[in-house]
Chain A
Amino acid sequence: MNFASILPGWRRFWAQELLPTLADLRLAILLLLSIALFSIAGTVIEQGQPVGFYQANYPEKPALFGFLTWRVLVGLGLNRVYSTWWFLALLILFGASLTACTFTRQIPALKAAWHWKFYDQPRQFQKLALSTTLVRGQLPGVAVALRQRGYRVFEADNFLYARKGLVGRWGPILVHGSMLLILAGSIWGSLGGFMDQEMIPQGETLTFDHPLERGVWARVPHDWSVRVNRFWIEYTPDGHIDQFYSDLSVLDQDQQEVKHQTIHVNQPLRYRGVTLYQADWGIAAVQVRVNQSPVLQLPMAVLSGVQGRIWGSWIPTQSDLSAGVSLVAKDLQGMLLAYDGEGKLIATVRRGMAVDLQGVTLAVVDLVGSTGLQIKADPGVPLVYLGFGLLMAGVVMSYFSHSQVWGLETSEGGYLGGRTNRAQVLFERELMQILSGLTLAEPAVAPSPESGKTD
């Protein structure tokens, strides 16, 4: 079998089987609802926990709903729904369906709306629900009324065509196209970007050597770094956190400053496609002076197993290290608690003050903060943002209803009819107003038919 003989068969399969299936609206609805359903699963089942968590919460016996054991759950990837192959496949299929739908439905619909025709037969008006007979000579008045209501009116001989809201036919195409842009942008971002989270003590320098996540095409910068000059927290008068600040310097290979910026939440630093966000904070160290010693900097560590976050350090009070006190802080406001070896609170001390403990004088010089930085490079963002912009424009455009009105005058009399694709109620009102504004003859109105019989 050569290539040429396969091609026609493939073409037929494409045109008659694959494309119609992809463009089938029922498939689109099925995809929309399946993505919704699996997303729900991802919000109900805790995502990204260690295996032990699922072993404890989804035991073999009794299995949840009779089947959902931790083995099934982890095996299917329900512990990380949004990055499983089947969820991504669903998204790609969704993109294919969007594309197929655009070409087989939306563009033909736009073309049909674009290439309008005058109605030249009375029977064409009989098909329209909103149609009526006119008296001869009324059509010009209709044209005036339509223009007043924002219609674009085309007139020729005895024919009239008017339309408005054609933008409503462009909207859905733009929506589909922009969603493809967003999907493409997010794929590009995950392949070409990287992400890292680092706790950097004040005064130290951040490099990008080992990002937490990196795409296969990601380029991690090695020729520049970021120094944390200072980290501080501003508090409101009643003790709530007002804002976190990090004073950062971008350094080139020779440690020369090339950019200087203070960042806070909602105000990141951007440099060469990499963005640094204020994400977290901690206490790196405490600076103390014991008796007449020089200033000693002792690291502080997060204490686990306590409510809230608390940092602690241990300071010896005997030269042979046989005794000491624990210094504990819960924020950078400068208040420290001192505990003895038995865990009893023995003193509180403020920054810049000294206290006598176990025979020594302990002076707290300062608390050194560390800043939690989120580092992110996402080359897909411009594409995604373009998609966002077009999507917003598209959904707004899609609200407009494409309204069309036809008119015809024959020797026997005139006809007027119209239809719209979305706003039936308002269009009906508009058309009835136009008709009632025609002075020569009031159009007779049929009683509302029962809805049940219209099928």
Chain B
Amino acid sequence: MTLVLLQNLLDNCAFAILLGTMLVYWLGAAFPRLPYLEGIGTAGMVTANLAMATLLAARWLEAGYFPLSNLYESLFFLSWGVTAAHLVAEAMSGSRLVGVATAPVALGISAFGALVLPETMRDSAPLVPALKSNWLMMHVSVMMLSYATLMVGSLLAIAFLVVTAGQSVELHGSSVGTGGFRSVAKLATSPAPREGSVAVLTSTTATLTPQRLTLAATLDNISYRMIGLGFPLLTIGIIAGGVWANEAWGSYWSWDPKETWALITWLVFAAYLHARITRGWQGRRPAVLAGTGFAVVWICYLGVNLLGKGLHSYGWFF
């Protein structure tokens, strides 16, 4: 069938493009002066994103339902989500360091789907009765998007930890608005008039110039913003699952391992968001929590299915 051929072509393409993209980002980080690399990296991510979107669309056409019913589809949806979240984070930060951290993860996920997963696991199978609901699309897709966004946020926190290794730093961005205030040592009080701004200066006023964010502060803030985006998605995904469960079998919460781990993920990132506004906890400590969140998301996404128990155990090979 041509759709199957197309799918095989697309998943291998996505893998190859992501491999190239990752190398471009790494090369760009190692040799910042090389021209064009930034643009090529972004273009690679966009292409991989479109290839995976086409792959999922082809599966949707073929099976007739939203392509999130088995591990293969779910892996490519996740990888697609990571590339999408990457593009958002890159546009927000304007830093190519984002790709250094996100490209290998997107690559790893698509490699697992395209190369490791046995052929028989890729076929789309008919949905079991419990999954025949519009809530499937709502719940599972929002959950996957939240995983992807939170992963990118966590990766940026890890990148922040690497960039600031051995330093102590002040945080910018939290709901109470720590940061935003000038660090006194940095106040530009140079009395020497500068060319072009003479009109501003008199002997009585000090020059006041904006104090820009550092690279570390930018990474940290974008990490915070991505987690801030993933957290509502996770909340909505969990609630959609709860409402679905209540409509389908009468209980919005049953402490099933998967939903418990979704709650654990939610709690860890809630702790991160609160750690940012706690005096004495600012600096690298919240980023460590966010970095831990990366592992927690993975346990929630795949690890729980290793237990093979509960309501979410179908459609997997473990």
Interface residues of A (CB under 8 A from B): 25-26, 28-29, 32-33, 35-36, 39-40, 42-43, 47, 82, 105, 109, 122, 125-135, 168-169, 171-172, 186, 195, 236, 238, 240-244, 264-266, 268, 275, 277, 279, 374-376, 378, 381, 384-385, 388, 391-392, 395-396, 398-399, 401-402, 412-413, 415, 417, 419-426, 428-429, 431-432, 435, 441-455
Contact = CB atoms under 8 A, between A and B. Distances in A.
A441 B197 contact: yes
Contacts of A172: 175
Contacts of B239: 388, 391-392
A130 B228 CA distance: 23
B187 interface: yes
B250 to A, nearest CB: 4
Given A268-B247, A444-B207, A425 B221 contact: yes
B63 interface: no
A33 B264 CA distance: 8
A244 to B, nearest CB: 6
A412 B208 CA distance: 13
Contacts of B130: 265-266
A444 B221 contact: no
B252 A424 contact: no
Contacts of A240: 126
28 contacts: A25-B281, A32-B270, A32-B271, A39-B261, A39-B264, A39-B267, A43-B304, A43-B307, A125-B208, A238-B126, A241-B129, A265-B248, A265-B249, A266-B129, A277-B250, A385-B243, A396-B236, A398-B175, A412-B202, A412-B205, A419-B181, A421-B174, A425-B221, A428-B212, A441-B196, A448-B215, A452-B168, A453-B186
B126 A236 contact: yes
A452 B129 CA distance: 57
B207 A133 contact: yes
- Give the 9 A-B residue pairs with the shortest CB-CB distance, closest first: A419-B180, A421-B177, A376-B250, A452-B167, A395-B232, A36-B267, A451-B214, A25-B278, A129-B211
A424 B214 contact: no
Contact of A446 (B169, B211, B232, B236): B211
A127 B277 CA distance: 19
Nearest to B167: A452
A109 B175 CA distance: 9
A435 B205 contact: no
Nearest to B279: A25
A47 B208 contact: no
B263 A39 contact: yes
Contacts of A275: 250
A339 B181 CA distance: 84
A172 B231 CA distance: 13
Nearest to A425: B221
A425 B180 contact: no
Contacts of B215: 448, 451
B253 A268 contact: no
A447 to B, nearest CB: 8
A396 B232 contact: yes
Interface of B: 92-94, 126, 128-130, 132-133, 135, 164, 167-170, 172-177, 179-183, 185-188, 194, 196-197, 199-202, 204-218, 221-222, 224-225, 228-229, 231-232, 235-236, 239, 242-244, 246-253, 255, 257, 260-261, 263-264, 267-268, 270-271, 274-275, 277-278, 281, 304, 307
Contacts of B264: 36, 39-40
A25 B232 CA distance: 21
A133 B200 contact: yes
Contacts of A432: 210
A316 B290 CA distance: 68
A166 B35 CA distance: 42
Contact of B172 (A29, A236, A424, A449): A424
Contact of A413 (B132, B175, B205): B205
A444 B172 contact: no
Contacts of A441: 196-197, 199-200
Contacts of A381: 246, 252
B101 to A, nearest CB: 16
